[in-house]
Every structure is written in structure tokens, then in C-alpha cells.
Amino acid sequence: MDSASDMDWHAARAALEWQLELGADECIADAPVDRFAAEIEAREAKAAPVVAAPMAGQVAPAVEQDPVQEAERAAAGAATLEQLREAMAAFDLCDLRHGARNLVFCDGVPGAKVMIVGEAPGRDEDRQGKPFVGRAGQLLDKMLAAIGLSRSENVYITNVLPWRPPQNRDPRPAEIAMMKPFLARHIALADPDLLLIVGNISCNALLGKTGITRLRGHWAEAEGRPAIPTFHPAYLLRQPQAKREAWADMLALSARLRALK
């Protein structure tokens, strides 16, 4: 080995040791790897194993937890909204929690006659820990104010999912199914008279249907209560021509609310 090559080897080793000291102990690939998504897909793809009865002297293998059943048990044990919040914060079977900053539980007035159910937190919601606080939330506030409603006085708001999905992707069916028992218990404890279902994903969770363009404006029943679906404010920001239909939905909500008095 000549002197030049010898110097290159030592320089390379010094550079490597310096990187190790900084904590860079893993090679970087040519393309990014979404390990968070890969972990979720692996869990969804893995079927629950069939556990045979242990023979004498053998230790029974651990039984894999069913996330939906665990969620049902945790939700059923909550007698108040605060207990439900605590149960959701302690629920560790949903991987979304590991990539989110905050649990987004609710905003508004508990016990209000109108409860709004959105889809999932976005970036602003994840940062503040409240639903509908970004641009879409500002538009929602204007829509509510136009019919005399306000989250500070007579509206209660939550989402199907309490944690932000990575890169604001759509929630996966397994994630919705896992968190639906908490949503059902949330509605029962908040006890609204009417539900405003905001967005396609919320319709899927509460009505078992998709196609918001077809569903919006038509009263249905969700969790034993009258519910009306409407466009998500984020959609209205992208498609302002749909605001006319959304306004009709808000008027229908207002009329139904007046009829309760």
C-alpha cells in the first residue's frame, strides 16, 4: 500500500468513527423507506395464529391481542368523557399514536345538542391537540356561525381517529375499526341530539357507506341518533363550487335543530 492510499484509508476510518460518535450508525439507502407504514402493513397482513392446546409440561404460547376487542373493553370501562380520554391515551395497539405529537380528543361544549364528527387530525390539529383548528377549521367555524352555532357555546367536535396519520394519508380500514368503539362511546357519553358527519371517511365509520357526494344532505341514523353527512371543509377549500350544497346541508341541520326546541 503506497502512502497516498494509506492516508485515504486512515481518513476514511476517522470519518467513520466521527459519524459513529454522532450516532449515525445506520447506512442511508438510495430511496427513503417508510418503516412506519411497513410495520402497520405487516400487522394487518399477519393473520391471528391458531393456538393449539399445550401438552403436559409445556408453557402455553401467548395469545395475540385483538385490537378491536381490546378497544371495546377499554371504551366500555369509561364512565365519563375524561375517563374516555384517559383510556384512549393509554391504548397502545394503534400504531398511529407513535408518529403523532398529541392525542386529539375534542373541542367545544360537552352535552351540546350538535356533535360534529370529522375524519382525522391534520398537522395543525396534531400540534395543538384540538380538532379543526387549521384552515379547514376556520371555514367550519364560519359555516357554523352562519346558522347561529359556535364551538364555544353550543357545538361539540371530535374525529374518527384521535391521532394524525403519517403525511395526512387516509386512515386504513383496520385503524378505523380499531378506534370505532371509542368513537361510539364518545357519542354515547357526549349524548348529542344531532350528528353532523363531516367527510367521506366519517360516513364510512358511522354509516358504513362511502360516496359523500351521494350521501350528503340526506338524514340517516348513526349510533341511534339523527345524522346528516356533509362535505369536509378541506374539500370545500379545494372545490369552492361545492359550498352551495354544503350551505344547504347546514340549513337542513339548523331546521332540524329548531324543530327540537
Residue-wise pLDDT for 42-78, tens only, equals 555 554 444 455 565 665 555 678 999 999 999 999 9
User: Residue 213: its pLDDT value, please?
Assistant: 96
DSSP 117: E
Average pLDDT of 223-238?
97
DSSP H stretches of helix in the chain: 3-21, 35-45, 67-76, 81-90, 96-99, 123-128, 135-145, 173-190, 200-207, 212-215, 233-238, 243-260
- Domain membership of residue 244 (yes or no) is yes
3-state secondary structure of 195: strand
Q: Which three cell numbers stand for residue 63?
A: 395469545
134 pLDDT higher than 80: yes
Q: Give CA–CA dist 218/256, Å, rounded.
A: 12
Q: How confident is the model at residue 8 (pLDDT cuts 50, 70, 90)?
A: confident
176 pLDDT higher than 60: yes
CATH for 113? 3.40.470.10
- Domain membership of residue 250 (yes or no) is yes
User: Residue 103: its pLDDT value, please?
Assistant: 98
As a three-state string, the secondary structure of 4-71 is HHHHHHHHHHHHHHHHHHCCCCCCCCCCCCCHHHHHHHHHHHCCCCCCCCCCCCCCCCCCCCCHHHHH
pLDDT tens profile 148-163: 999 999 999 999 999 9
Give percent of the chain with pLDDT exceeding 70.
79
Per the model's pLDDT, the better-predicted residue between 225 and 47 turns out to be: 225
Q: How confident is the model at residue 202 (pLDDT cuts 50, 70, 90)?
A: very high
User: Residue 47: its pLDDT value, please?
Assistant: 43
Tell me the whole-structure pTM to 2 decimals: 0.77
pLDDT tens profile 78-112: 999 999 999 999 999 999 999 999 999 999 999 99
HSE value, Cβ hemisphere, 13 Å, CA-based, for 18: 6
218 pLDDT higher than 70: yes
- Domain membership of residue 43 (yes or no) is no
Q: How confident is the model at residue 4 (pLDDT cuts 50, 70, 90)?
A: very low
3 pLDDT higher than 50: no
- Domain membership of residue 34 (yes or no) is no
Q: Give CA–CA dist 193/254, Å, rounded.
A: 12
Query: What total of structural domains would you count in the chain?
Result: 1
- Fill in the amino acid letter for 183: L
Q: Give bridge partners of residue 159 from the DSSP assignment.
A: 118
- Domain membership of residue 236 (yes or no) is yes
- Domain membership of residue 4 (yes or no) is no
Average pLDDT of 189-216?
97
- Domain membership of residue 176 (yes or no) is yes
User: Residue 222: its pLDDT value, please?
Assistant: 98
User: Residue 49: its pLDDT value, please?
Assistant: 47
User: Residue 12: its pLDDT value, please?
Assistant: 73
Radius of gyration of the chain (CA): 24
- Domain membership of residue 189 (yes or no) is yes
Residue 217 domain boundaries: 67-260
